[in-house]
Structures are given as C-alpha cells and as structure tokens.
Structure 1
C-alpha cells in the first residue's frame, strides 16, 4: 500500500516538475541574463550584494520586456526567428540539464542518459519556441 503511494507520488512530483519546466521555459533567457549581470557586478566589486541583485533583476526585466515588445510589434520574419531563437536556446539548455538530472536518478548508462537528455532539450526548446511564435504582432 505505502509502496504504491510512494510510486504514485513520485511520478506526480516528476510530472509537476516537468510541467513547471515547460511553463517557465520562456523565461530562461531573462533569468540567465539577470544571473550573469548580478554575478559580474558583484565579482568585479562594482556593486555591493543588494545593488548587484537589483541591477540583475532590472537587466532581466529589460531583456524580457524588449523581447516581448519585439515579438509583439514586428512582422519581419527574420527578426522574429532571431529573437525566438535567442529565447528558446537557453530554454533548451535548461531542459537538457533538468532531463539529465532526472534521468541520472535512474540506473541507466551514460549513453542512454545523454540521449534522453537531448530528447528533453528538444522537447523543452520546441515548447518554448512554440510559445514564442504564438505571440502575434498587433
């Protein structure tokens, strides 16, 4: 009884994490920019900890707003593909990392683990790409 409950809850937990990853995949690029700006400003002693965090948050919000504004306002296919790719590639990397981590919980070999992680990266990157392409210009 308890073993069955544990298996069901484990599958539900992994399913929830995958759903959350697919939902938040579009925000991987702004989060990456925010983390990099915060780290660079703090490591090079340009700002204190709180100021570096606030500058990182501002940079992430700027990247998100700029990307959304470009996708919502332009009809140029090349520019839309470039912006969508810049947002979908970090999402694919996040999908690769999460799928790799989840697949290492099992007892698979190295090659099947990386094949599974590559498939996860393609799925998450494709989902982010689809969500970004759904933004129609006004």
Structure 2
C-alpha cells in the first residue's frame, strides 16, 4: 500500500517538475545571463554582493525585454529564427541536464541515460522554441 503510494507520488512529482520546466523554459536564457553577469561582477571584485545581484537581475531583464521586443517587432524571418534559437538553446541545455538527472535517479546505464537526456533536450528546447515563435507582431 505505502509502496504503491510512494511510486504514484514519485511519478507525479517528476511529472510536475517536467511541466514546470516546460513552462519556464523560455526564461532560461535571461536567467543564464543574469547568473553569469552576477558571478562575473562578484568574482572579479567589481561590485559587492547585493550590487552584483541587482546588476545581474537588470541584465537578465534586459535580455528578456530585448529578445521579446525583437520577436514582436520584426518581420524578417531570418532574424526571428536566429533570436528564437538563441533564446531556446539554454532551455535545451537545461532540459538535457534535468532529464540526465532524472535518469540518474533510476538504475540506468550511461548510454540509455544520455539517449534519454538528448530526447529531453529536444523536447524542452522544441517547446521553448515553439513558444518563442508564437510571439506575434505587434
């Protein structure tokens, strides 16, 4: 009884985390930029901790707004595809890491784990790219 409940709750928890990853995949690139700016400014002693965090948040917001503004204002398909792919690539990397971590929870070999992680990266990156391409012109 308890074993069955644990299995059901475990599958539901993994399903919830996958849904959350697909929902938030569009914001992977701004989060990555924010983390990199914050780390760079703090590690090189350019700013204190709070100032580096605020600068990182500002850089992430700027990437998000700039990317969505380009997608919402341009008609050039090459530029739209390029910006969408640049914003979806970090989402695909996050999907790869998350599915590789999920496959590490079980007793899976290395080759099937990487195949599963590649499939997860394609799914998450594809979902992010689809959501970004759906942004219509203003």
Scaled to the shorter chain, the TM-score interval is over 0.9
Instruction: Encode CA deviations 1:22-49: one digit per residue, 9 max, x unaligned.
Output: 0000000000000000000000000000
Q: Distance in 1 between matches of 2:100 and 2:7?
A: 20
Alignment correspondent of 2:46: 46
| Number of residue-to-residue matches in the alignment | 138
TM-aligned CA deviation for residue 83 of structure 1: 0.5
Q: If the length of structure 1 is used for normalisation, what is the TM-score?
A: 0.99
- TM-superposed CA distance for 1:132, in Å, is 0.4
**Correspondences of 1:1-138 after superposition (within 5 Å):** 1-138=1-138
Please give the alpha-carbon distance, in whole angstroms, between the structure 1 residues aligned to 2:114 and 2:127: 20
- What is the distance in 2 between the residues matched to 1:99 and 1:4? 23
Moved over 4 A (4+): none
TM (norm. structure 2) is 0.99
Structure 2: distance between partners of 1:12 and 1:109: 23
Report deviation, 1:63: 0.3
* Whole-Å separation in 2 of the counterparts to 1:76 and 1:48: 41
What runs of 5+ residues in structure 2 fail to find an aligned partner?
Answer: none
Uncovered stretches (5+) of structure 1, i.e. residues with no partner:
none
